[in-house]
Chains A and B, each alone.
Chain A
Amino acid sequence: VDEIELFAALRPETGANLAGQRERARDRLADAMSDSTARTSARRTTRRLGGLNPSARAAFAVSGAALAVGGAVVLPTVLAPGRPGSLVTSAWAVQPRRDGTVKVTIKDASDPAGLQRALRSAGVRAIVVSHREVPLKKVGDIWAVTLACGYPTTGKLFEPAAVQRAVVTPGPAGGAVRPSEVIAFIHPAAMPAGSVLFIVDTFSVLQNGTRVLSVTMPAVLRSSQAPRCAPQRGQVPPPVGIPSPVPSPSSPVPAPSGGPLPPPTPVPTRSSSPLPPPTPTPVPTRSSSPLPPPTPTPVPTRSSSPIPTPTPS
């Protein structure tokens, strides 16, 4: 008896259903390769531009929150190679796939209107709410932007769990995925008539002033009526290090309940940053709810100012 052969005989059987796993892995690889190609081209362009100064880089890395008030709203957009309709920005990406699903990657939902538009042109009706548009709430010792509406799937506004599972497939957990990043595969064909995808990103402000951004997994609303987010009373913590993106509690932000979302506010360019001036974001005229059906309108390409992907915070 050979010792090595003894161990060889212990190898578990591994033959069944290889093809399915292989094809899924191939799709993930193709997606990641197109992402990495896009990021590489963005990095190259940045080098040509002389690169960002460290403070601008850090501000961008902290979260979209930092950009919302003090920084320029620059949404670098690079068209990913591959499927038509793919749109990759440094904050999020929408990538239609061969099998009819749409891969959505969100680091933060700054420019909610742009993300909403990209999803719609990929055939997914969606409402995107950015942390800038939801009120602040104190939870214990930390300040947090929360939705007081039973998010994600317990409220009456949401489709039942079976529909959620059919429409939203969470992306790979762990491995190459960063903790602050959400990846989901959306199946537009499985969305019931009238239903709308709901995406919200939130952030928490810890006692030391650190802001922790988190994006929730997309969920399916029964209609375009989004959860009501009641403004919270309380004192807004002083900004530490970065400008506060938090709206003052004395002027509560209108909740995105059933009505059109407020357009993102235009923001002045930060003078210390060598970033190019912000491209005026074309905000589509939004009629009152319900949302119009998705139209295959081409998404405008803003190729003027690619900057590198923010590092995970």
Chain B
Amino acid sequence: VIARAARDPAGFGLIFDRHSDAILRYARARLGPDLAEDVLAETFLAAFARRASYDMSRPNSLPWLYGIAIRQIGKHRRAEHRSRQAMARLPVDAAVLGTDDRCLDRVAAQALRPRLMSVLSGLTPKDRELLLLIAWAGLTYEESAQALGVPVTTVRSRLHRIRVKTRRALNLEPGSGKGDFRG
């Protein structure tokens, strides 16, 4: 599809149809609905301008688009900071929590929300981008590496660092990736 889009601007519409919802949802999660529309339009416009530089050996253009979207989101750093602060202050809504499939994680996460948001804010921008690509966009390690333009080994080492920081902040048992609450 990208190969066609590189030759034919109309073909770019196919890429938009296929991936715009994913990018829009991610931008909304990061910045809220108002700025998300701008980010979506700017992401695809930048992608259109750079379509010639796309690596045709990669069949899925979504990680590439996420990489562009991250840069657009980065232009709204203050708005994102405000959004995170607002999330940290939200009250826990037990009724919503009870209906979720991933109830356990969600209950834990909601209870720990202020501390998790503080961990998120304390991460370096690079670590934060990686964490959110995996946790909020649902990308794999390989896709995240592609989006961020780094090797997969870098992704693994950054994630390890993030896990350690999180466990320390939440007083979780040190472990290889999972831990239990201590208190």
In the assembled complex, the CB of A41 is this many whole angstroms from the nearest CB of chain B, namely 12
Would you give the shortest CB distance from A238 to chain B, in whole angstroms? 40
The distance from the CB of A89 to the nearest CB of chain B, in whole angstroms, is 21
In the complex, the answer to whether B105 meets A22 with C-beta atoms within 8 Å is no
Name the residue of chain A whose CB is nearest to the CB of B40. A25
Tell me whether B29 is interfacial, beta carbon within 8 Å.
yes
Contact pattern, A 1-34, Cβ under 8 Å of B = 1, otherwise 0: 1111111111110110110011011101100110
- Answer whether residue B16 sits at the interface, using C-beta atoms and an 8 A cutoff: yes
Whether A9 and B48, one on each chain, are in contact in the complex, defined by CB atoms closer than 8 angstroms, is no
A33–B45 Cα distance when bound, in Å, is 7
A36 within 8 A of B: yes
For residue B178, which residues in chain A have a CB less than 8 angstroms away from its CB? 1-3
Question: Does A37 sit within 8 A of B, measured CB to CB?
Answer: yes
- Mark B82-107 against chain A: 1 for CB-CB distance below 8 A, else 0: 00000100000000000010101110
From A1, A2, A4, A22, give the contact of B40 (CB < 8 A): A22
**Stretch from A51-59, A133-141, A170-178, A247-255 at the B interface:** A170-178
Are the C-beta atoms of A176 and B24 separated by less than 8 Å?
Answer: no
Residue of B nearest to A19 (CB): B21
Contact A17 B33 (CB under 8 A): yes
Task: Report which of B13, B16, B24, B106 forms a contact with A21, defined as CB distance below 8 A.
Answer: B24
Q: Is the beta-carbon distance between B166 and A25 smaller than 8 angstroms? A: no
Chain B residues with Cβ under 8 A from A11's Cβ? 29, 135-136
* A1 vs B106: C-alpha distance when bound (angstroms): 10
Q: Which of B44, B102, B113, B135 has most A Cβ within 10 Å?
A: B135
Q: Separation in Å of the B145 CB from the closest CB of chain A?
A: 15
Nearest-Cβ distance from residue A115 to partner chain B, whole angstroms? 25
On whether the beta carbons of A22 and B136 are closer than 8 Å, the reply is no
Give the contacts of B132-183 with A (CB-CB under 8 A): 132, 134-136, 159, 162-163, 166-167, 172, 177-181
Asked whether B56 is an interface residue with its Cβ less than 8 Å from the other chain, the reply is no
- Are A18 and B116 also in contact (CB < 8 A) when A4-B131, A29-B45, A172-B41 are? no
B62 contacts chain A at the CB level, 8 A cutoff: no
CA distance A4 to B41 in the complex (A): 29
CB <8 Å contact, B36 and A21: yes
State the interface size on chain B (CB cutoff 8 A).
Answer: 54
Residues B109 and A10 in contact, CB atoms below 8 Å apart? yes
Q: Measured between alpha carbons, how far is A2 from B112 in the docked complex, in Å?
A: 13
Contact of A10 among B45, B87, B179 (CB under 8 A): B87
Q: A3-B166, A7-B135, A11-B29 given as contacts; is B40 within 8 A of A21 (CB)?
A: yes
Decide: B42 and A7 in contact? CB cutoff 8 A.
Answer: no
Question: Please, which residues of chain B bring their CB within 8 A of the CB of A24?
Answer: 37, 41
Question: Which residues of A have CB within 8 Å of B179?
Answer: 1, 3
A174 engages B38 (CB within 8 Å): yes
The smallest beta-carbon distance between A220 and chain B, in angstroms, is 25
Query: Which B residues are CB-close (under 8 A) to A7?
Result: 109, 116, 120, 131-132, 135-136, 166
Complex contacts, B42 vs chain A, CB 8 Å: 175-176
Q: A26's closest neighbor in chain B, by CB? A: B16
Q: Is the CB of A1 within 8 A of B49?
A: no
A178 to chain B minimum Cβ distance, whole angstroms, is: 14
- Chain B 39-77, CB-CB to A under 8 Å as 1, else 0, gives 011101100110000000000000000000000100100
* A25 with B104: CB separation less than 8 A: no
Contact with A along B103-136 (1 / 0, CB 8 A): 0111011101100110010000000000110111
Binding site for A on B (CB under 8 A): 9, 12-13, 16, 20-21, 24-26, 28-29, 33, 36-38, 40-42, 44-45, 48-49, 72, 75, 87, 100, 102, 104-106, 108-110, 112-113, 116-117, 120, 131-132, 134-136, 159, 162-163, 166-167, 172, 177-181
Residues of A within 8 A of B (CB): 1-12, 14-15, 17-18, 21-22, 24-26, 28-29, 32-33, 36-37, 172, 174-176
7 sampled A-B residue pairs with Cβ under 8 A: A7-B132, A8-B105, A9-B109, A11-B136, A14-B25, A25-B44, A33-B45
